[in-house]
Structure 1
Amino acid sequence: MHETLLLCLGLLLTVCLLIILSQRLRLPYPILLVLGGLALSFVPGLPLVKINPDLIFLIFLPPLLYEAAWFTSWKDFWRWRRVISFLAFGLVFLTSGIVAYVSWAVIPGFTLALGFLLGGVVSPPDAVAATSVMRSMSLPRRIMAILEGESLVNDASSLIVFRFALAAVLSGSFVWYEAAGQFVLVTVLGVAVGLGIALVFYALHRWLTVTPSTHTVLTLITPYILYMTAEAVHASGVMAVVSGGLFLSYQSATIFTPANRRQGIHTWATVGFVLNGAVFMLIGLQLPLIINSLGAYSKLEAIGYGLLISFVVIVTRLITALLSSHFTHWVSRYITVGDANPGWRGPVIVGCSGMRGVVSLAAALSIPLLDNAGRPFPERNMVLFITFIVILMTLVGQGLTLPWLIRWVGVEDLDHLQPEHEQQRAVRSQLIAQALDTLNEQYATQVQRSSLVGALKQKLEKEAHLSTHQLPAVENDEQEVTEYYHIYSELIGVQRQALLKLRSQEEYDDDVIRKQETQLDLEEERLLLLMEAQSQAPTAPPERPALHVAK
Structure 2
Amino acid sequence: MHHTLLLCLGLLLAICLLFTLSQRLRVPYPILLVLAGLAISFIPGLPLLEVEPDLIFLIFLPPLLYEAAWFTSWKDFWKWRRIISFLAFGLVFLTSGIVAYVSWAVIPGFTLALGFLLGGIVSPPDALAATSVMRDMSLPRRITAILEGESLVNDASSLIVFRFALAAILSGSFVWQQAAGSFLLVTLLGIAVGLAVGVVFYTIHRWLPTTPSTHTVLTLVTPYVMYVTAETWHVSGVMAVVSGGLFMSYHSSRIFSPINRRQGISTWTTVGFVLNGAVFMLIGLELPVITGALGGYSKLEAVGYGLLISAVVIITRLVVGMLGSPFSHWISRFIEVSDANPGWRGPLVVGYAGMRGVVSLAAALSIPLVGNNGQPFPERNLILFITFVVILVTLVGQGLTLPLLIRWIGVEDRDNLRPEHEQRNTARHHLTTVALTRLRALYQPHQRNHNGLLDTLQKKLEKDLYLITHQMQPVDHPHIERQVTEYQRIYTELLHAQREELRRLRGQEEYNDELIRHLEAHLDLEEEKLTLFVEAQHQPTPQTLHEQQHNT
TM-score (norm 2): 0.94
Name 1:18's counterpart in structure 2.
Answer: 18
Name 1:62's counterpart in structure 2.
Answer: 62
Name 1:412's counterpart in structure 2.
Answer: 412
1:185-264 matches, within 5 Å, as 185-264=185-264
Structure 1 CA distance for aligned equivalents of residues 120 and 18 of structure 2 = 31
1:290-439 matches, within 5 Å, as 290-439=290-439
Name 2:283's counterpart in structure 1.
Answer: 283
Tell me whether 1:162 sits opposite 2:162 in the alignment.
yes
Asked if the contact 1:439–1:447 (Cα under 8 Å) also holds between the matched residues in 2, the reply is no
Structure 1 CA distance for aligned equivalents of residues 374 and 124 of structure 2 = 30
Name 2:496's counterpart in structure 1.
Answer: 493
1:58 to partner: Cα distance? 0.6
Taking structure 1 as reference, are residues 514 and 336 closer, same or farther at Cα in structure 2, changes over 3 Å only? same
Tell me whether 1:534 sits opposite 2:537 in the alignment.
yes
Name 2:176's counterpart in structure 1.
Answer: 176
Taking structure 1 as reference, are residues 227 and 130 closer, same or farther at Cα in structure 2, changes over 3 Å only? farther
Structure 1 CA distance for aligned equivalents of residues 379 and 90 of structure 2 = 27
Structure 1 CA distance for aligned equivalents of residues 197 and 414 of structure 2 = 38
1:127 to partner: Cα distance? 4.3
Asked if the contact 1:28–1:136 (Cα under 8 Å) also holds between the matched residues in 2, the reply is no
CA displacement, residues 51-77 of structure 1 (integer Å, 9 cap, x when unaligned): 222222011111111111111100000
Name 1:461's counterpart in structure 2.
Answer: 462
Structure 1 CA distance for aligned equivalents of residues 54 and 276 of structure 2 = 17
1:78 to partner: Cα distance? 0.6
Taking structure 1 as reference, are residues 427 and 506 closer, same or farther at Cα in structure 2, changes over 3 Å only? same
Structure 1 CA distance for aligned equivalents of residues 459 and 354 of structure 2 = 52
Name 1:549's counterpart in structure 2.
Answer: none
Taking structure 1 as reference, are residues 439 and 126 closer, same or farther at Cα in structure 2, changes over 3 Å only? same
Taking structure 1 as reference, are residues 370 and 4 closer, same or farther at Cα in structure 2, changes over 3 Å only? closer
Structure 2 CA distance for aligned equivalents of residues 471 and 487 of structure 1 = 21
CA displacement, residues 503-541 of structure 1 (integer Å, 9 cap, x when unaligned): 110011112111111111111111222222333359xxx
Asked if the contact 2:41–2:285 (Cα under 8 Å) also holds between the matched residues in 1, the reply is yes
| Structure 1 residue runs of 4 or more that deviate by more than 4 Å after TM superposition | none
Taking structure 1 as reference, are residues 12 and 205 closer, same or farther at Cα in structure 2, changes over 3 Å only? same
Structure 1 CA distance for aligned equivalents of residues 163 and 181 of structure 2 = 14
1:96 to partner: Cα distance? 0.7
Name 1:524's counterpart in structure 2.
Answer: 527
Gapped regions of structure 2 (runs ≥ 5):
542-552
Structure 2 CA distance for aligned equivalents of residues 503 and 401 of structure 1 = 51
User: Residue type of the partner of 1:526?
Assistant: K
1:258 to partner: Cα distance? 1.1
Asked if the contact 1:499–1:513 (Cα under 8 Å) also holds between the matched residues in 2, the reply is yes
Taking structure 1 as reference, are residues 508 and 371 closer, same or farther at Cα in structure 2, changes over 3 Å only? closer
Structure 2 CA distance for aligned equivalents of residues 199 and 88 of structure 1 = 26
User: Residue type of the partner of 2:45?
Assistant: G
In terms of mean alpha carbon deviation, does 310-319 or 459-468 score higher?
459-468
1:26-45 matches, within 5 Å, as 26-45=26-45
User: Residue type of the partner of 2:467?
Assistant: L
In terms of mean alpha carbon deviation, does 56-65 or 134-143 score higher?
134-143
Asked if the contact 2:130–2:399 (Cα under 8 Å) also holds between the matched residues in 1, the reply is no
Name 1:450's counterpart in structure 2.
Answer: 451
CA displacement, residues 375-413 of structure 1 (integer Å, 9 cap, x when unaligned): 333222221111111111111111111100111121111
Counterpart selection for 1:515 from 513, 518, 527? 518
Structure 2 CA distance for aligned equivalents of residues 136 and 176 of structure 1 = 45
Name 2:122's counterpart in structure 1.
Answer: 122
Structure 1 CA distance for aligned equivalents of residues 214 and 112 of structure 2 = 51
Structure 1 CA distance for aligned equivalents of residues 183 and 140 of structure 2 = 33
Taking structure 1 as reference, are residues 136 and 43 closer, same or farther at Cα in structure 2, changes over 3 Å only? farther
Taking structure 1 as reference, are residues 256 and 471 closer, same or farther at Cα in structure 2, changes over 3 Å only? closer
Structure 1 CA distance for aligned equivalents of residues 219 and 300 of structure 2 = 47
User: Residue type of the partner of 1:514?
Assistant: R
Asked if the contact 2:190–2:236 (Cα under 8 Å) also holds between the matched residues in 1, the reply is yes
Structure 2 CA distance for aligned equivalents of residues 306 and 487 of structure 1 = 58
Structure 2 CA distance for aligned equivalents of residues 114 and 284 of structure 1 = 24
Taking structure 1 as reference, are residues 93 and 521 closer, same or farther at Cα in structure 2, changes over 3 Å only? same
1:417 to partner: Cα distance? 1.6
In terms of mean alpha carbon deviation, does 162-171 or 131-140 score higher?
131-140
Asked if the contact 1:322–1:351 (Cα under 8 Å) also holds between the matched residues in 2, the reply is yes
Structure 1 CA distance for aligned equivalents of residues 275 and 489 of structure 2 = 38
1:169 to partner: Cα distance? 2.1
User: Residue type of the partner of 1:516?
Assistant: L
User: Residue type of the partner of 2:103?
Assistant: S
Identity score, percent = 72
SS class of match (1:469): helix
1:56-95 matches, within 5 Å, as 56-95=56-95
What is the Cα-based RMSD across aligned positions, in Å?
1.8
Gapped regions of structure 1 (runs ≥ 5):
539-551
1:7 to partner: Cα distance? 1.4
Counterpart selection for 1:481 from 484, 492, 496? 484
Structure 1 CA distance for aligned equivalents of residues 64 and 135 of structure 2 = 15
Asked if the contact 1:130–1:151 (Cα under 8 Å) also holds between the matched residues in 2, the reply is no
Taking structure 1 as reference, are residues 329 and 470 closer, same or farther at Cα in structure 2, changes over 3 Å only? closer
